[in-house]
Structure 1
Amino acid sequence: MHSRPRWQRTVDIVLSTDPKLRQRTGMSLLALVLMVCSAMVMLLVGHAGVAPLRWVQWWAAVSIAGLALMLVLIRLRCTLHLDDPGLDIPQMAWTITSGAVAYVLAGEARGIVPSVLAMILFFGTFGLTVRQVIGIGLYALANFALAVALVGWLGDAQSGVLDTAYALMVAIVLGGCMALNMRIQHIRARLRQQRAELAQALADIRMLATRDELTGLLNRRAMLDLMQLEQRRNQRTGRNLLLALLDLDHFKAINDTHGHAAGDRALQAFTTTVRATVRGTDVLARWGGEEFVLMLCETPCEHAADLLERVRCAVAVLAVPHAPVPLTFTVSIGLARALPRRAPRSHAGARRPGPLRRQGRGPRPRGGGAPARAAPCGQRYGPHRRLGPVHPLTAMELASGPRPSRRSTRPRPAFSSGSVAGLYW
């Protein structure tokens, strides 16, 4: 690995490697360099005899020392607790005051000061608010008005026309810089607003791409991505992964009888109830119209069965709020456990395909496709037993594969990739 050049290491030492601190230190260093250049010009004027050299030397030393002190404070992180950690306003106020003093000292060369004033004011273009720009502009106007009055009082004024031209030029520079700064601040404010609106729009698009608008749950696409991720993790680590498929019974009849608004409220009430019943680590997603998928990670099958029984009981006693008539419904639940390796051929039901069977008490439903309602609430399930052949599935295929029609008696096709112990109860 090649080391960085020496000059880059030196720059990092002077300006810091922290991006924000580096920016503040760089701007302060630039202001100091410009002040040094201005002091050299003033010293040149003093050596030419236009301005008093001794006073110019004192002015240069004090002006440079003030900005150097602020640079050191910024670099040593002594200003981080301030509202203006870059000391933009103090540096601008200091240089404006120095410029006003230079206007008094420059004598016949005081016409060079307005250009320096413009450069000072443009330092606050990107760091100040509109109110701060107005305040610093008024401060500059007061300083230079005092400087013009002091020049007249000291009797150092030149011809009246020339002094008036200097004063008007200072006023024009101040007004123009303030107007441009305010315009730039308005543009920056509009850009910030547009950026915030764009960020909100992107967040809304991201939510619509991954969330169901009605229930706020993960949608099918987002759940598929999460299932693929968990399946790869399951194959790598062998962690227990369970998927439960929840289907609201006769939900179409609710829409046909009470309207789609009542159906939407039923879905929202169901979502709220299930999320309040399951754990915070469980992931619930809306898979279809009235179908939901619940992902249970690191959960034993016995605990998952108890959890889903609590869900079934909670839904059975649920009363949909704000419904035109008392509205209740039930839910059928299927559970599948993902196995990280292919199940042996001797696995139950692996020799021939067949419909998923119900586990629990009660008669087997007719039609073969739809699961029957679970045992009554409060009745305990006996030992897990298979009442019929269960064909091998994968956890992904259980949720993403086509479900048989409620009127169809055709058995599900067998899948050959991986295996899952799938049950309806």
Structure 2
Amino acid sequence: MPTPRSTEPRRKRRLKDKLADWVLGPEGPQRFSTKVSSTGLVTYVPCMLLVVYCGWAGLTPPQLVVPIVLAMLLTVAGFYAALRSGWSRRFADAGLILPQMLASITWDAIGYVLMGAAHAGMLMPAALTVTYGVFALHGRGAYVVQAYAIVVIGGTMAAMCAIDPAVFPVREAVMVYTSFVVTVLMLGWTGRQIAQLRQRERETRAQLGATLEQIQQRATHDGLTGLHNRRHMQAALAHHLARAERDGVPLALALLDIDHFKQVNDRHGHAAGDAVLAAFARIAEATLPPTEIIGRWGGEEFLVLSTRGLSCDQLQAQVDRIRDRLLQAPIDVPTGKLRIDFSAGVALHRRGTAAAALIDSADQALYAAKQGGRGRSVIAGAPALPPAGNPDLRSPVHAGA
């Protein structure tokens, strides 16, 4: 039976993932380090190809080609084994980037000696190594690579000029070395400029991200209480209302209104009113489970939206827990301590009910709670309860008064 076409890309992806796991290791920091650092090992490829070409062209003794290529392959294999096994992670430079660069430059110097008349060609891989080191390393590491390349290549050229001036003429060496040094220094300068630009770009992005986060926070949260604002709550209500209509998940909400809030402002000042709102928000948010959304609906009125399919009775119990916590925690205001209460109306969405109708149903239940004596929660459609019997809870009072 032929394999469906839709499964072929899947199989290819699975094969690709398995190959990546085998070559680079499992997903995580080790794999990332191996992947990035293995890029530096690629710089050995042009060196090995150059050695093979020089042996084929008769520019270097053919009997040296195989030993040199094998030695380079062993160097690459050693670094790969250290990276792939995770052994390199015991060092600060987990990718062994600096040791790789130094080893590569050392091999470039060895190649300079062995390539005979083609020795100048080995300076190109050295410049390539320095280029990679400048961009892969930061700070002192990049300077070390540059200094090592200048000193090792310069010392090797000077030694060969003294040992075999016929093949390594001094005048040619001076010209080539000067060009090499200028190239290395320019690469280092360019790399530092690019690194600074990238750092500024990262800082700018971080500042923009922080600014956008502040804008989003201000756009969706109330500045005084820190709770979601009315705009966000309207969007959340629309989202969960659509889900309730689609999936049939129960959706309950509650409107909470602080009792006698005007008296708080009139008797104790607007600073006290702000303190009451902030304290109420803090206590309510700490009391409700993370699955319930609470926001400031307007003034001293707050909206609680259940997102986990609570019934009216269950949401009423959550609201009453807020009241219990609030009554047990007098609020500090400039004039002393106040104990406050609130009324609440709870409503349950029914299929086909619009958001405005659901809010209106909760608002009517809230009005019934106010009419019933305040300091209570009423479920929309439930029988009216008798007025509250504790007069102290019907207006804000000083704690302990």
Task: Please indicate, yes or no, whether the TM-score normalized by the shorter chain is above 0.5.
Answer: yes
Q: Whole-Å Cα distance in 2 between the matches of residues 11 and 44 of structure 1? A: 36
Give the match for residue 36 of structure 1.
48
Give the match for residue 162 of structure 1.
172
Map 1:123-202; keep pairs closer than 5 Å.
123-156=132-165, 158-202=168-212
Where structure 1 has 5 or more consecutive residues not aligned to the other structure, the ranges are: 343-349, 366-370, 389-425
- 1:44-66, Cα deviation, whole Å (9 max, x unpaired): 56x13xx4554455333322442
Map 1:223-238; keep pairs closer than 5 Å.
223-238=233-248
Q: Whole-Å Cα distance in 1 between the matches of residues 51 and 283 of structure 2? A: 75
Give the match for residue 312 of structure 2.
301
- Contact 1:117/1:173 (<8 A) preserved: no
- 1:380-423, Cα deviation, whole Å (9 max, x unpaired): x9xx52479xxxxxxxxxxxxxxxxxxxxxxxxxxxxxxxxxxx
Stretch deviating more after TM superposition (265-274 or 118-127): 118-127
SS in 2 for 1:245: strand
Q: Which amino acid aligns with 1:38?
A: L
- Contact 2:345/2:365 (<8 A) preserved: no
Alignment pair present for 1:262 and 2:272: yes
Q: 1:209 aligns with which of 190, 196, 219?
A: 219
- Contact 2:271/2:333 (<8 A) preserved: no
SS in 2 for 1:321: strand
Alignment pair present for 1:105 and 2:114: yes
Question: Shift in Å at residue 128 of structure 1?
Answer: 1.9
CA gap 1:306/1:57 in 2 versus in 1, 3 angstroms: closer
Stretch deviating more after TM superposition (54-63 or 164-173): 54-63
Q: Whole-Å Cα distance in 2 between the matches of residues 272 and 104 of structure 1? A: 75
SS in 1 for 2:277: helix
CA gap 1:186/1:202 in 2 versus in 1, 3 angstroms: same
Alignment pair present for 1:373 and 2:382: no
Give the match for residue 292 of structure 1.
302
Question: Shift in Å at residue 192 of structure 1?
Answer: 2.2
SS in 2 for 1:101: helix
Give the match for residue 220 of structure 1.
230
- 1:238-259, Cα deviation, whole Å (9 max, x unpaired): 4443211112234345446655
- Contact 2:256/2:303 (<8 A) preserved: yes
SS in 2 for 1:335: strand
Q: Which amino acid aligns with 2:322?
A: V
Question: Shift in Å at residue 323 of structure 1?
Answer: 2.4
Give the match for residue 66 of structure 1.
75
Q: Whole-Å Cα distance in 2 between the matches of residues 121 and 256 of structure 1? A: 75
Question: Shift in Å at residue 332 of structure 1?
Answer: 2.3
Question: Shift in Å at residue 152 of structure 1?
Answer: 4.4
- Contact 1:32/1:68 (<8 A) preserved: no
SS in 2 for 1:284: strand
Stretch deviating more after TM superposition (104-113 or 265-274): 104-113
Give the match for residue 406 of structure 1.
none
- TM-score w.r.t. the length of structure 2 is 0.73
Q: Whole-Å Cα distance in 2 between the matches of residues 80 and 202 of structure 1? A: 39
Question: Shift in Å at residue 303 of structure 1?
Answer: 4.0
Q: Whole-Å Cα distance in 2 between the matches of residues 164 and 11 of structure 1? A: 50
Give the match for residue 332 of structure 2.
321
CA gap 1:80/1:212 in 2 versus in 1, 3 angstroms: farther
Give the match for residue 383 of structure 2.
385
What is the CA RMSD across the aligned residues, in angstroms? 4.1
Q: Whole-Å Cα distance in 2 between the matches of residues 155 and 386 of structure 1? A: 110
- TM-score w.r.t. the length of structure 1 is 0.69
Q: Whole-Å Cα distance in 2 between the matches of residues 299 and 271 of structure 1? A: 21
- Contact 2:343/2:366 (<8 A) preserved: no
Q: Which amino acid aligns with 1:319?
A: P
Q: 2:128 aligns with which of 111, 115, 119?
A: 119
Give the match for residue 413 of structure 1.
none
Identity %, equivalent residues: 26
How many residue pairs were aligned?
360
Q: Which amino acid aligns with 2:180?
A: V
Map 1:329-368; keep pairs closer than 5 Å.
329-340=340-351, 365=371
Structure in which a larger fraction of residues adopt helix: 2
CA gap 1:32/1:165 in 2 versus in 1, 3 angstroms: closer
- Contact 1:316/1:330 (<8 A) preserved: yes
SS in 1 for 2:43: helix
- Contact 2:252/2:347 (<8 A) preserved: yes
- Contact 1:312/1:331 (<8 A) preserved: yes
CA gap 1:283/1:324 in 2 versus in 1, 3 angstroms: same
Alignment pair present for 1:95 and 2:108: no
Q: Whole-Å Cα distance in 1 between the matches of residues 123 and 251 of structure 2? A: 75
